[in-house]
Amino acid sequence: MRRFTIAVQLCALALAWPLGNAHAQAIPRAQTQTSAAKARSPSPANGNAAFLRVGCQSCHGTVGQGGAGARLAPNTLPLEAFRVWVRNGTPGWTIARGMPAFPASVVTDEDLADVQAFLASLPAPPRPDETPLLKP
């Protein structure tokens, strides 16, 4: 059982490696924004790109369906709660449990608004009883 636990932890570490690498290689964006940029509407297309660029899909799946991390779509948190969660992460986060915090140097508030808009734009999956292959 111990070997299995170690193998799972190594797999989790391998999955998280690009995420940790994204932190190290992130290029900080300019902290000053024009009032026009602050007032723009969130873009789901930009959110999808940011979601993939930062590495969210490695835990949450390419469309927020969940995996090693929580399911994020279609019932997405409101923007402010989403922002607080991403900035603070899970207290006592470890590679095997929880979510790391993402500072503004890795993902800007504008990107977070876009990511939240992307997740909110995703449709709910079909119910199992509406899926032909799952019908008895």
Half-sphere exposure of 49 (CA within 13 A, CB side): 7
Alpha carbon 24 to its chain's center: 17
Q: Say if pTM beats, i.e. exceeds, 0.75.
A: no
The domain of 7 spans: 2-23+41-125
Nearest to 73 by CA among 113, 15, 42, 117: 117
Q: How many domains does the chain have?
A: 1
Q: Could you report the per-residue pLDDT of 44-83, keeping only the tens digit for each? A: 999 999 999 999 999 999 999 999 999 999 899 999 999 9
Band of residue 38 on the pLDDT scale cut at 50, 70, 90:
low
Query: Is residue 36, in this structure, part of any structural domain at all?
Result: no
Query: Is residue 59, in this structure, part of any structural domain at all?
Result: yes
